[in-house]
Amino acid sequence: MKSKLSTIKRIVSLVALAVCLFSFCFTPLTAASADVKYKSSPFNVFNPKVTLDTKNAQLLLSKKTLTLTATIECVAKVNVKSVAWTSSNTAVATVSDKGVVTAKKCGTALITVTVKRLIGSDLKASCWFTIFDGSLSLSSSSLSMNVTDSGDSKTLTCSVKDLNVCTSNVTWSSSDSSVAAVSGKGVVTAKKAGTATITCKHKEYGTTATCKVSVTEKKVLNVQSKEQSNGSCCGGAAACAVIRYFNSSFSKKDTDLYKAMGNSSAVYKINNLLNKYIKNSPYSYGTYKTQSSYQNAVIKSIKAGYPVIALIKITSKTYFKYTTNGHFTVIRGYEIAPNGSVTFYIADSYRTSKNGGRFSIPAGTFFGYSKAHGYKYYLILKK
């Protein structure tokens, strides 16, 4: 009986000793050595290893440091000879003997922890570090847009440059929202001719990226002008083109309208023809003494969907086949460049094909400005 009790006592003592040793070997390190932890795994005691709390990390250059934690599994502390940290690229990132990674410049570096054991081979674990400065990159550095009836919108996306990943953690703004507005999701909408700068700012990093937007305002009406039957009946041809724009079944010839006009007070006669053949015609004539007021009147009329008949003086063959002190032509469109310059599109069978039917004031052709017409700009346009 005594022998049995003695055996039981020895077993209990051995178990108690084993528990003490196990507790000692797998107790986590103190705060002073917080870069390494020990973990027991009773179900996998034959697979010792070391792991890091992350395999890939990003570190903002301005934040400087980030601490890695290594966990040693199934290895008694008394069997650990040393724990060493190394960096594959110390110019980008260094690492202390406590696992503190310090950013030096943008780039990548592999941080490795090596555990040397008294008994057994070395254990290793690594983490790729990407050091970045938060610089942003936009999908476009410049945009060319056009104001249309339906609106012109384009979407910009923002990426953190060194990470090459899109981000929505940004704010958007425009230097001139009257030219180009931008939504909180980077959708840019053209408003009027001009230039604007769209700025994207990261909420956390404070970094920015910009895109220059150039907006052209353009509208061209589908007005077709047939070849004049008589080179001198431009008034009839212009009237035909405008009337046909509103009424495709109109079949009269320019010569018919020219004869109906007579040779005097041509501006008034053309105006009367428009009112006769266009139902509820809104057309009337006007005179403008300055180039800017003339241009504004043309643009306003075309914006409303009405082509303009202009009386012009042709001083150069740059856009026409001849020169004359009085010629009627149809202005069917306008274009305002980002720098504010204005050009017009005409529907005139006598013009050359140069510049796609576009010309500006004066650009060799001076609108309705001649001694015979009182040095004024003449238009027949929407009231």
In this predicted model, what pLDDT tens digit does every residue of 69-125 receive, in sequence order?
888 887 777 788 889 999 999 999 999 989 999 999 888 999 999 988 888 888 899
- Tokens 């008394």 belong to 78
Give residue 382's pLDDT. 58
Give residue 144's pLDDT. 93
Taking the chain, what is the end-to-end CA distance rounded to the nearest angstrom? Answer: 126
* Nearest-angstrom CA–CA distance, 37 and 72: 6
* Nearest-angstrom CA–CA distance, 79 and 81: 6
Q: Give the pLDDT confidence of 321-375 residue by residue, as tens digits.
A: 777 777 788 888 999 999 998 888 888 766 656 666 676 665 545 454 444 444 4
Strands across the sheet with 80-87, in order?
Answer: 56-60, 123-132, 107-117, 80-87
Give residue 225's pLDDT. 76
Where the chain has pLDDT below 70, the residues are: 1-35, 38-46, 149-151, 227-232, 258-265, 319, 349-357, 359-383
Q: Any bridge partners for residue 113, and if so which?
A: 85, 125
